[in-house]
Amino acid sequence: MKNHAKLLSLAIAAALLAFGGTASAQTNFNTTIQEGHINTNDTHQTGRYNDNATYQEGRDNANRTHQRGTENWNQTGQFGRFNYNETRQTGVANRSSLTRGRGRD
């Protein structure tokens, strides 16, 4: 399950990057993988199309994502004892998903 979530995030980011083409000036992509004891991620994206994928596996995980655009995509997977996630999306089409599970100790 853990590897599946990580690979899915990478696959989505790679596919979107490949199809971004010339619109990349108006498009933001971010993929973050953190596998430390304490993981912190802050992402701010402003553009027409914004995509963020974050995978965190550690004891303490914190993720904040702020997206402002026409279409915003956010996928977060957190696997730890203490998990914090904040997502703010301003746009026409906003999609966000959060997966949480037990991480390694």
* Single pTM value for the model: 0.72
The percent of residues above 70 in pLDDT, for the chain, comes to: 73
pLDDT at 26: 86
In this structure, which amino acid lies at residue 80?
Answer: G
**Which of 30, 89, 38, 31 is CA-nearest to residue 62?**
38
pLDDT at 10: 63
In sequence order, which residues have a C-beta less than 8 Å from that of residue 70 and are 6 or more positions away? 48, 49, 91, 92, 93
**Domain layout of the chain by residue ranges:** 2-101
Chain-wide mean pLDDT for the chain? 84
Question: What would the pLDDT profile of 42-92 be if each residue is shown by its tens digit?
Answer: 999 999 999 999 999 999 999 999 999 999 999 999 999 999 999 999 999
